[in-house]
Amino acid sequence: EFSLTALPPFLFPTFFNFHTFYIAYTKRYWGDLAWMMTFYIRFFCTYGSLLEIKSVLAYYFILRMLESSWFVWVSQMNHIPMDIYYDRNLDWASSQLLATCNVEQSLFNDWFTGHLNFQIEH
């Protein structure tokens, strides 16, 4: 049985999927819309031949939830503002160096972040 308590984690991936299509359609980005459709066609053709539609949708949304969590962890750990309490009228590069940080190097951090733990160099 499906519980309504499981629904909230699905809302963001669902909203962003529909919103991305909505923006592409309303702004008439036909090329982008076509490329996005090719992903979904390939995804559903590939996994639809192996699984029922319920399982394909569950698989897709579980992947999106994991991807979203990973993206937040990777992007936010390096973009936590370091020393920006007020505007010092610095140039862009100096401001960026003050606003980012490298995360401790380890085998796990290097693998998990794809070496984006070196945010200053990135």
Ranges of each domain in the chain: 1-78, 80-121
Q: How far is residue 25's CA from residue 32's CA, in Å, rounded to a whole number?
A: 9
pTM beyond 0.85:
no
What separation in angstroms does the CA of 61 have from each of 5, 55, 95? 15, 10, 37
Q: Which two tokens stand for residue 8?
A: 């909230």
**Residues 117, 105: contact at Cβ < 8 Å?**
yes
Q: How far is residue 99's CA from residue 83's CA, in Å, rounded to a whole number?
A: 6
Q: In tens digits, what is the pLDDT along the chain, a chain of 122 residues?
A: 556 666 666 677 778 788 889 999 999 999 999 999 999 999 999 999 999 999 998 898 888 878 877 887 777 776 665 666 666 788 888 877 777 777 778 898 888 888 877 777 76
